[in-house]
Amino acid sequence: MIKAREIKKSFLVSIWFMFLTFPIMVIRVNPIEKIVEWRWKNMLVVGIGSFLLSFVWRYMLKKKEAGEKRAETGESGKTFLIQRILEERRFYIPLVTGLTIIAVAFPFIFSMYQTSIMTTALMYIVLGLGLNIVVGLAGLLDLGYVAFYAVGAYSYALLNHHFGLGFWSVLPIGAVLGFIFGVLLGFPVLRLRGDYLAIVTLGFGEIIRLVLENWNEFSFGPSGIANIDRPGFFGIQFSLQAASIYLYFLMIGLVIFTIIVVNRLQNSRIGRAWIALREDETACQAMGIDKTRTKLRAFALGATWAGMVGVIFAAKTTFINPASFTFLESAMILSIVVLGGMGSILGVIIGALILILLPEYLRAFSDYRMLLFGAIMVIMMVFRPQGIIANIRRTYKFNE
């Protein structure tokens, strides 16, 4: 039953949005040729769209409020399907086996192009998991994550260009450099409160990009570095096809390694300290946890992963320039973490797959990609701040 009042409300919302989007959506001017283009159709779309969306919006808000009330009275305890599947061995083992078979067979069934897209998605999974340590576990909003990614990519590109170092010897160097940069940048800024930290990391990210763009002698400026070697395998040089398959399996390996490490970290002493710090800094300090050092560990570990993926990125594309490391890249990785669920490994994996693969396969959407990322971040924060798959909090039952 939709009451007349609801319709009136939505009607007003629709009028408001038509007014709001009027200059930007309807009129397009070309100041050079002095042409004004009127696009009245857009106004109609906005009007009808906002009319319908406002119903959905109000319904979701009501649902969320109802959910919050239930949680207050202690009636929660509804676990989600996916979490139940994960808990029961009966479902869990066949699922993992199935996934393994798909993962192994993927590059042999699908084309090289598909494999390459999948490799990119896997890279974002690792980046997401790395950022998840910083944002999800430790609760530090890092908006300059891409800076460490750039450090990794440039360390491989430059070492390869100047000294001819191979992929495998640079991979650990990239990781270590990521770690060092994480410590160097993290050390001065981690004393700051959450929102200041976000801005400073954003500033650092931009500084690194601007330096790479302007310091021509060091980084070859905006034209970037080309002809970076693909990864080798004990001196064997692959064909293009074999190389992309090789890279794919390399990424699969790295994803598994990352999942294991993050999973072990989460339940370790450090992981618990991070989560505690995220929840309440003051209480955490009172329990004897060194605030700065614990935060620094999260920051540096996250940066290590970014450095490592950066090396792989340079090896995959064989060409890098500063344009690959803009703020939007950081925002994209952040929206993966936010969509999937902060602190949840499975959530981040699903988030990365959705956000990277969907725009690739739905070509019509590719223009709207960043618009969607922004919208997803807002909508998720308003309606489901815990993400698609909420991290299960370990609860201890008290048995009398």
Partner 1 sequence: MEYFLELILGGLTRGSIYALIALGYTMVYGIIELINFAHGEIYMIGAFTALIFTSVLTLLGFNEIAVIVLASLAAVIYSSAYGYTVEKIAYKPLRHASRLSPLIGAIGMSIFLQNYVLLAQTSDFLPFPNLIPEFEFIKPYRHIISSAEIVILITTSTAMILLTFLIKFTRTGKAMRATAQDRNMAMLVGVNVNRVISITFVIGSALAALGGVLIASHVGQINFYIGFVAGIKAFTAAVLGGIGSIPGAVLGALVLGLTESFATGYVSSDYEDVFAFGLLVLILIFKPAGILGRVRHQKI
- Could you give the angle at which helices 112-131 and 327-340 cross, rounded to 10 degrees? 80
Can you tell me which of 7, 12, 16, 48 binds partner 1, judged by CB under 8 A?
16
Dihedral sign, CA of 180, 185, 191, 196?
Answer: negative
Contact criterion met (CB below 8 Å) for 389 and 341: yes
Strand partners, 35: 30
- 206 near partner 1, rule: CB under 8 A: yes
Can you tell me which of 8, 15, 28, 256 binds partner 1, judged by CB under 8 A?
28
* Residues 36-52: b if buried by 16+ CB within 10 A, e if exposed: eeeeeebbeebbeebbe
Can you tell me which of 112, 141, 180, 296 binds partner 1, judged by CB under 8 A?
141
Q: Which is nearer to partner 1, 191 or 293 (CB)?
A: 191
Residues in the interface with partner 1 (CB under 8 A) total 60
Token digits of residue 31: 């100041």
- 20 near partner 1, rule: CB under 8 A: yes
Can you tell me which of 107, 130, 139, 347 binds partner 1, judged by CB under 8 A?
139
Can you tell me which of 76, 79, 111, 214 binds partner 1, judged by CB under 8 A?
214
- 12 near partner 1, rule: CB under 8 A: no
Q: Which is nearer to partner 1, 99 or 207 (CB)?
A: 207
Q: Which of residues 277-306 bind partner 1 (CB under 8 A)?
A: 282
Residues ≥6 apart with Cβ < 8 Å to 17: 46, 47, 50
Residues ≥6 apart with Cβ < 8 Å to 174: 151, 152, 155, 156, 307, 308, 310, 311
Strand partners, 29: 36
- 74 near partner 1, rule: CB under 8 A: no
- 218 near partner 1, rule: CB under 8 A: no
**Strand, helix or coil for residue 111:** coil
Distance between CA atoms of 227 and 11, rounded to whole angstroms? Answer: 58
Residues in contact with partner 1 by CB under 8 A are 16, 19-21, 23-25, 27-29, 31-32, 34, 36, 42, 61, 135, 139, 141, 143, 188-189, 191-196, 198-200, 202-204, 206-207, 210-211, 214, 282, 327-328, 331, 334-335, 338, 367-368, 370-371, 373-378, 380-382, 385
